[in-house]
Structure 1
Amino acid sequence: AWLHADAAGLAATLSPEAFFFDNSREALGLVERGDTATRRRLARQWREYDRSGGGLSARLSIRDLAVVPSGARQIVSYRALLEGLGAHPFRDETLVTDVLHQGKIVAHFAVRLLPEGLVRELDYSAYATENMPETETFYREKLGLGVPYEDEDWFGFWSRHAVFGLHKATREEDRFPVPRQANGHPSFWVASARKTHDYLVAQGSSFPVHPSINDRAGLDRQPGYLQVLATDSEGNLLLFTEYTGR
């Protein structure tokens, strides 16, 4: 039913008050309660996938299946691998646990496994601005992004997948923001900043210093994280961050 994007068929497997948790595709609104809310959530998720004639253009496989009786209920767990077969290929792996009672799912937990490569996911995108209050008002009121969270010289707007951020910069020190240019950079969460740095060195990347982003070229240790600011082949800024907690 899931691969066929069959909301009614999938809802038939859920109890009316089913508890649903899934962080495989979203960072916000992870918990739903009840089959109606779960159907709406799944319909929203399915819109993000490529489609085929029979539903989603993807292949689903499971392994490590285990079923454990627990009184009148059964606990079913497995590892699921979803691979995109359409124009936008992907590979999502999750650990799934379902709790069943009288043949219906009463609780569903799906937790995304982190990828094995250096880059785990997009953490945020950040755009430089010289006027934080004015820019924050534009995005909050004119574009309707809501109320941001604040940090030092930073505003962040949560989305379902990552953070859209604004940070204070000055042209004199940072050489941006530059009028009529994007003035933005992505930040990626990585498993190891040192391994990422070594890879970037081997690829011929440069390591600039922009005071609003980093304090030193190459590996830049900050309280709680280790980061690397680099450039791609066209000179665009890319930030890679390992969260160390110290």
Structure 2
Amino acid sequence: MAQLAKGLKVVTGLQFRADPLITKAKQLVDSGAIGQITSTTATGCFNNYPADTWNAKADYFLNFKGGANEYTISFAHFLDSFRYIVGDFANLHSVVDIQYPTVKLVDFTTGEVTDPARKKTSPDHIFVNGKLESGAVASLSFRKVTKTVDGKGLRWLISGTKGELEITIDGPNFQMDIAKKQLRLVDNSVGVTQDIDFTDAQELAYVKSVPAMGQNTSRLCEKYVAAPTEVANFDDALKLHQLLDKIAAAANYPYKA
């Protein structure tokens, strides 16, 4: 598909990079606000439901081969924005694992347990360490929990020679604009941490009328029209899937997509 799309104006559904939070963070990094990146650390979690429970109507999420699961959606959306802001891995080693090999399937409409021990092949813990093409070092850790101690679904630090950025999001589903978010910056020369306003003053009014789960998709569509180089194309999607495959392979993950 990527080959067939050569020369065409295309977009793929990686809407997290259209989030104003990510757009602003990239602008700050590209402007040199934190200097040369030296390291980046991200800690995230998957807690849509209790760790030992899953929605019976989304049973397919539990299969690694199905292509739609927490690894290829939630983690992948983060990983795309990670590549977008700080670049790709030059080398890496990883641990990809299942700590909850069986889960209870529940029909959330009726409360009925449809399967008390549904086997799962999609991973729920992902740890990646490595060096980026820029020379910076990186550490990513994503875990499965029922509740986080601090309420944060994502805490991402980008450290540089002049300062540091922190991105935090309450709750999972980073690609959807449904949780409280914060962007903070500390400039070494000033030494005071400040909250950064990432509101897009030029955003079209209709976007705010879209249900929260679809707002970043609306922003993605608008960027596709106004700034097509800022959206993910098929080449980006291909490189993302190659990186996901590389992470799983480096961990000798026993299930194949």
- State the TM bucket, normalised to the shorter chain: under 0.3
Greater per-residue helix proportion = 2
Point out which structure has higher relative CO (alpha carbons under 8 A, 6+ apart): 2
Greater per-residue strand proportion = 1
Please identify the structure whose Cα radius of gyration is greater.
1
The normalised TM-score by structure 1 is 0.25
The normalised TM-score by structure 2 is 0.25
